[in-house]
Amino acid sequence: MRSTLVFIFAGLPLSLLAIARPQRGILLPGQVFGRDVEGPCDVSGITLPENAQSLPPPTEGLQLILIAQGTGTQNYTCADATAKPAALGALATLVNATCEVAQNALGTVNEDSAAIGVHYFVDASTPDFDIIGLGNTELKKVATVSAPSSDDVPFLKLMAQEQGTTGPIREIYRVATRGGVPPADCSEQKPNSIVTVNYTAQYWFYSCVEESV
Ligand SMILES: *[C@@H]1O[C@H](CO)[C@@H](O)[C@H](O)[C@H]1NC(C)=O
Ligand SMILES: *[C@@H]1O[C@H](CO)[C@@H](O)[C@H](O)[C@H]1NC(C)=O
Ligand SMILES: *[C@@H]1O[C@H](CO)[C@@H](O)[C@H](O)[C@H]1NC(C)=O
């Protein structure tokens, strides 16, 4: 991956790279993402699933550049048997599901295909996404809406913060969740234990990528 990026950058005139430099972060040319702009995996026409429509929409000017399927655990702590489980973060492996979602063929996502990145938490309220070729993104939750089923963790909108963000991703939506909901109470847990609950979700990544560079 690294050598591909170097090759693409080497092919760009220096003046273009200078123009592409944004006020913050890096503004990468569309080709770097290898976006399939007109092919069967084009995502330019697709919109977030119905329940996510009650979240604030992506900020104008941002473009959907990647849809990943995350598989992992949502983590909770139980201080003692009378406490409610408290969110502690999550850990998930991300695979590229862009084509499958674009073609409405989610059942065909191969969760064992090569990971393109990882999702974890730097602290209890700061999710982090580290993706090959797209740098690191640290975010804050800005909106939540219930999933269609209460067995699934809510849909979210996350916005990138400057600190810890090295790439062009500005907003991420967590949608199409399955699982991840904590037990109703801590009565079955040992004091100060960590409860991990399996989940999957789609993560939709929006970036300030400039197509025309
Ligand atoms: C994800 O898959 C799409 C479609 O195959 C591809 O264009 C894109 O480069 C991939 N993105 C990443 C970050 O691997
Ligand atoms: C969450 O649980 C996973 C095990 O699924 C663990 O590897 C990870 O370190 C945990 N993260 C936190 C913040 O507790
Ligand atoms: C959680 O996922 C792991 C890894 O896929 C699996 O081994 C484990 O059985 C799952 N646990 C439950 C309770 O489904």
* Best residue for ligand 2 mutational test, from 71, 91, 121, 200 (most atoms within 8 Å of Cβ): 91
The model carries a pTM of 0.83
Q: Is the CB of 88 under 6 A from ligand 2?
A: yes
* Structure tokens that stand for 88 in this block: 């502690």
Quick one: average pLDDT of 2-25? 38
**Residues 128-173: tens digit of each pLDDT:** 999 999 999 999 999 999 999 999 999 999 999 999 999 999 999 9
Query: Is the pLDDT at 10 greater than 50, yes or no?
Result: no
Total residue count of the chain as it appears in this document: 213
Q: 67 CA to middle of ligand 1, Å?
A: 9
Q: Given pLDDT bands bounded at 50, 70 and 90, which one contains residue 107?
A: low
d(CA 180, CA 198): 5
Query: Is the pLDDT at 24 greater than 50, yes or no?
Result: no
Of residues 37, 23, 28, the one with CA closest to residue 9: 28
Query: Which atom of ligand 1 is least distant from the CA of 41?
Result: 4
Q: Is the CB of 9 under 6 A from ligand 2?
A: no
Q: Is the CB of 91 under 6 A from ligand 2?
A: yes
Residue spans of the domains in the chain: they are: 5-71+96-182+199-211
Which pLDDT score, from 0 to 100, does residue 18 have?
35
